[in-house]
Amino acid sequence: MNNRSDQLHNMSRRQFLMAAGGVTVAAALAACAVPAPGGDSGGAASSEAQQISFLVRPDIRNAYAADAAAEAWNQESEQKIVIDEPAGAADQKIQAAVAAGDLIWDGFAVIEGPWGIESWVSRDLIQPLDDLIAVSTVADADKVVPAIIPSVLESSKYEGKQYTIPGNVGSVALGWFWEPLNAAGAEPPETWDEVRAAAEAIKATSPDWTPFDAACSPLCDHISMIWGATDAPLTDEGLVDWTGEASIAALKWKQEMVAAELMPGIHGESFGNWLKGGTAIMTSYDVHGTMAQQTFGEDAATTGLNIKLEKDDIKAGAPFWLNGSVVLNGANNAQGMMDFLLWWFGPNNKATGEQIATVAAKPAYQYTYDDFIKGNSVQAWQLDGIELVRESVPFPVNLFWGLQNSAAAPWIEKALDPGNNMSAEEAMESALAEMHDEMAKMKQG
């Protein structure tokens, strides 16, 4: 066990956030050259060339090889793009600039959809893209949106308008190390019962390993279990169905797992322990299998699909989200920004397609899977994962995502502590009451 732990330093908070956004640690090593855009892929329909100013989050700048893409674009386009990084919270910087009338950026990468979209729209920070896409002169611009995985495209919209150009998709999935699984004689688990059986066998045969854990709660364990256990994971008011049958069953299952010492009740160091090779099976952001492979080898671990209640029924599929680039409201060169984004993720920019397929993981476009993932055994998990996303129920585009997490997490933790003697029903009803209180405050304020 110590040998595995010594192979990887403790994971920083920044690396954890990178994983949460669907970006792997390997993004820091990204330095792929990007071929210049060909043909008439250059700028907006304008008689004067204008500069494009693009604010890009540092992890995305690395993961998507944004500098190489900008250099390639600038070799062929009259409208040169300049990349900048946010100092501090990007949305606050942008909002202050918009309010002061001195916005210097045309676009930003990235916001998480659908969770963040309504917040950015309601604060007048971003503009709809439909008209800008329609008049773009970039070669094959009309092929970009139709190639977006339909459920991902839906999560890029708000009130029928498209607000983001997605780059890659994250979702929740099981992953496992083969060593403890094989030692236990267990097959790769897919269902709640199979995870429980494999964890029990691993505890008996590989006691140095944590049998099962989740990267965080509630997204990676509770919400993912709800999605895999019911066709209707959401309520009419746009919340996760916290008090529904699937939610109560999921929390009771976790209570039993914690009581049997098959999983910890607190997830503080969970992802770090996975990266050290200390957790046998984990439900997590689906890049965790690839991250383990980067440290221990391609044959050491893998990524599966979201945990299900029934083996042959995906129910609502898997919780998923996207990393989307946006055009800012009041941008000086909105069309130029739009043209760059359509070229950046378009079918002719093979370098960025390969970069996202092999580094950032789970591209948003069908042509990227056709070019770089189909037939690649190492990347096959991405193809399986995106097919599940295609059939999954998206999160609603509303302002309630953050308050749900804040309210649910501590009540789940309380319920998993045997000393509290708290029922699953009591915990979830209490969490929902807090959510309603916070929603009422939002309406008043």
- pLDDT for 22 equals 41
Please give the average per-residue pLDDT across 26-52, as a whole number. 42
The verdict on residue 380 lying in a domain is yes
Under the banding of pLDDT at 50, 70 and 90, the label for residue 287 is very high
The per-residue b/e assignment along 335-359, b for 16 or more CB within 10 angstroms, e otherwise, is bbbbbbbbbbbbbbbebbbbbbbbb
How many whole angstroms separate alpha carbon 153 and alpha carbon 322? 9
Q: In this structure, what token pair is assigned to residue 114?
A: 């659908």
The verdict on residue 399 lying in a domain is no
Residues spanned by the domain of 76? 25-169+322-390
Count CA atoms closer than 13 A to 360's CA, side-chain side.
30
Which backbone phi and psi does 328 adopt, to 5 degrees? Answer: -80, 150
- The residue with greater pLDDT, 378 or 95, is 95
- The answer on pLDDT for 26 being more than 60 is no
User: SS3 of 99, please?
Assistant: helix
- The answer on pLDDT for 43 being more than 50 is no
- The answer on pLDDT for 179 being more than 80 is yes
How many whole angstroms separate alpha carbon 91 and alpha carbon 123? 10
The closest alpha carbon to 8, from 274, 216, 264, belongs to 274
Under the banding of pLDDT at 50, 70 and 90, the label for residue 36 is very low
CB 24 within 8 A of CB 359: yes
Residue identified by tokens 């970039």 is 138
How many whole angstroms separate alpha carbon 116 and alpha carbon 131? 22
* Torsion on CA atoms 356, 358, 363, 366, rounded to nearest 10: 120
Single-letter amino acid code for the residue at 346: G
Under the banding of pLDDT at 50, 70 and 90, the label for residue 30 is very low
The verdict on residue 136 lying in a domain is yes
DSSP β-bridge partners for residue 310: 313
- pLDDT for 48 equals 59
Least confident range from 29-38, 125-134, 234-243, 421-430: namely 29-38
Q: Could you tell me how many helices (H) and strands (E) the chain has, helices first?
A: 21, 10
Specify whether the backbone of 186 is left (phi greater than 0), alpha (psi in -120 to 50) or beta. beta
First-last CA distance in the chain: 52
- The answer on pLDDT for 390 being more than 60 is yes
- The answer on pLDDT for 3 being more than 90 is no
Average pLDDT, the chain: 90
Under the banding of pLDDT at 50, 70 and 90, the label for residue 14 is very low
The verdict on residue 141 lying in a domain is yes
CA 222 to each of CA 21, 75, 215, 379, 409: distance values in angstroms, whole numbers, following the listed order: 18, 48, 11, 27, 9
How many whole angstroms separate alpha carbon 207 and alpha carbon 1? 10
pLDDT tens for residues 195-217? 999 999 999 999 999 999 999 99
Strands 210-214 and 279-285 come out as: parallel
The verdict on residue 119 lying in a domain is yes
Q: Domain holding 117: CATH number?
A: 3.40.190.10
Q: In this structure, what token pair is assigned to residue 434?
A: 């807090």
- pLDDT for 307 equals 98
Under the banding of pLDDT at 50, 70 and 90, the label for residue 267 is confident
- The answer on pLDDT for 4 being more than 50 is no
CA 264 to each of CA 211, 257, 269, 413: distance values in angstroms, whole numbers, following the listed order: 9, 8, 10, 10
Question: What DSSP string runs through 285-324?
Answer: ETTHHHHHHHHH-TTTEEE----BSBTTB-TT---EEEEE
- pLDDT for 188 equals 97
Residue identified by tokens 């907006």 is 44
Total structural domains within the chain = 1
- pLDDT for 233 equals 98
- pLDDT for 378 equals 87
- pLDDT for 33 equals 27
User: SS3 of 185, please?
Assistant: coil
The verdict on residue 97 lying in a domain is yes
The verdict on residue 160 lying in a domain is yes
Q: In this structure, what token pair is assigned to residue 206?
A: 């590989």
How many whole angstroms separate alpha carbon 205 and alpha carbon 380? 30
How many whole angstroms separate alpha carbon 11 and alpha carbon 286? 17
The verdict on residue 222 lying in a domain is no
Whole-model pTM? Answer: 0.89
- The answer on pLDDT for 31 being more than 60 is no
How much of the chain, in percent, has pLDDT values that exceed 70? 89
